[in-house]
Structure 1
Amino acid sequence: MAELKVRPGRDLSVIGSAALVRALHAAGLVDRYTLLIHPLTLGSGARLFGAGPLTEFTLTGCVTTTKGVVIAHYDRGV
């Protein structure tokens, strides 16, 4: 992934794999998160951010859909 990241071209995206996101985050390969926050509870599930490295991100944009879903964009802090 690190090799792909340095190549010119479009952004790489991960959709629906918390384990892959955690591994990429731990390796310092995540520059931006787009989180879709749905207004519901499931009762239980895997945490996206567990005991990984502390990394600061800055909120760069946020919109709420008509269904109440919050779409938040975060960039890696400097």
Structure 2
Amino acid sequence: LIIKREKKNGTFEQQQRYRDDSGSISGRSIIEFNKYDFYSYGSYNEMMKWLRSLARKYPEFVRNISIGKSHEKRSIDGLE
């Protein structure tokens, strides 16, 4: 019953995609795209590849930065 309702609402397929995400969009690397699709789910690795590609493509405007570490000791990366 819940699955039928969620399929009707369109949320079931999106939740399935979250679970099944393989790290690519339609089998292609995120770097192949000129724009990042903020309206679709993308993995953390896809987003980081896209951010790094922006810094490589536009070095006069963009650079990668790290603003510190998370409580799990992972780098918190971004663009400046």
TM-score, structure 1 normalization: 0.31
Structure that is richer in strand per residue: 1
- How does the TM-score come out when normalised to structure 2? 0.31
**Structure possessing the higher radius of gyration over alpha carbons:** 2
Report the structure, 1 or 2, having the larger helix content.
Answer: 2
